[in-house]
Amino acid sequence: MKIFHEVPNPREDLELRNCAKDEDTVKTALERTIFSAVIRDDRSEFIGIGRIIGDGGCFFQIG
């Protein structure tokens, strides 16, 4: 397992969350990430993500 400081692509995020959001909505959200760490296995398959998001001023959320 390897950890990368990167933002996943929208398709990976949709597959991980198994949600009904469309790819354009997820792409917009991911582009506004303040910091992200992605976990990939030895074959570089996407396993998980940790992100810091916020309002650009006072409030931040780690998810």
In this prediction, residue 20 has a pLDDT band, given cuts at 50, 70 and 90, of: low
Angle between helices 10-17 and 23-31 (to 10 degrees): 110
What are the domain boundaries of the chain?
2-62
> In CATH, which of 2.60.120.310, 3.30.420.40, 3.90.1200.10, 3.40.630.30 is domain 2-62?
3.40.630.30
Structure confidence by residue, pLDDT tens digits, 27-43? 888 888 999 999 999 99
Please report the DSSP string for 25-48 in residue order.
Answer: HHHHHHHT-SEEEEEE-TT--EEE
In this prediction the pTM is 0.62
Mean pLDDT of the chain: 86
CA 38 from chain centre, in angstroms, equals: 7
pLDDT score, position 26: 83
